[in-house]
Amino acid sequence: MATERKKLLLRLDPAVHDALARWAGDELRSTNAQIEYLLRKALGDAGRLPGGVSRIRGPGRPSHTSEPEEDE
């Protein structure tokens, strides 16, 4: 059974949001998925990513062989 994803209100400088949105578009991710990707990368780089965290799907459309994912 999948656990419910947490919701978070995040206030960003409009220029930072625009830069994130452009970067996300370049990598075929939603802005939300890009923020999660960057947070996971930062946690991993700092050695703070918990062991039980599921892998995040790669950029772009899922392949036909992958299992369906829940909403981002």
Nearest CA to 36 out of 15, 25, 12, 20 is that of 20
Residue-level pLDDT at 72: 44
Averaged over 53-69, what is the pLDDT? Answer: 70
Q: What is the pLDDT of residues 6-55, one digit of tens each?
A: 999 999 999 999 999 999 999 999 999 999 999 999 999 999 999 888 77
The band of 67, judged by pLDDT with boundaries at 50, 70 and 90, is low
Distance CA 30, CA 26 (A): 10
Domain parsing of the chain, residue ranges: 14-42
Its pTM stands at 0.72
